[in-house]
C-alpha cells in the first residue's frame, strides 16, 4: 500500500533539525536525555552489526549515549 503520509514523514526525517525535534519528543524521556544531540547525524541506510547481520532502514541516525555510538532507525 502506498501511503502519501509515509513519504512526507520519511522526507521530513531526513532533515536533521526535524529529526532531532521528533526523536527528542517521542523517545522515552530517560533515553532522550542521555543522547548527544550535538553529534546527531544522518548515517547510511544500511550497516552490518557486530554479529554480522545486515540492517536496513529508510533513515538511520548516528549519535552517542554515554560515549557509546548508537543508531536510531526510522522506517
- Average pLDDT over the chain reads 82
How high is the pLDDT of residue 63? 93
Contact 56, 46 (CB under 8 A): yes
Contact 19, 40 (CB under 8 A): yes
Q: Residue 50 sits in which domain range?
A: 4-74
Q: Considering its fold, how many domains does the chain have in total?
A: 1
Q: Residues 27-59: pLDDT tens digits? A: 999 999 999 999 999 886 666 666 767 766 678
Between residues 59 and 1, the one the model is more confident about: 59
**The pTM of the whole model exceeds 0.85:** no
Band of pLDDT at residue 74, cut at 50, 70 and 90: confident
Instruction: Find cell 552489526 and name the residue.
Output: 49
Amino acid at each position: 500500500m502506498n501511503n502519501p503520509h509515509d513519504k512526507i514523514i520519511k522526507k521530513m526525517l531526513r532533515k536533521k533539525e526535524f529529526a532531532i525535534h521528533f526523536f527528542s519528543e517521542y523517545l522515552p524521556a530517560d533515553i532522550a536525555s542521555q543522547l548527544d544531540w550535538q553529534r546527531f547525524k544522518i548515517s547510511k541506510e544500511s550497516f552490518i552489526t557486530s554479529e554480522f547481520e545486515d540492517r536496513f532502514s529508510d533513515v538511520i541516525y548516528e549519535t552517542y549515549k554515554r560515549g557509546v555510538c548508537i543508531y536510531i532507525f526510522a522506517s
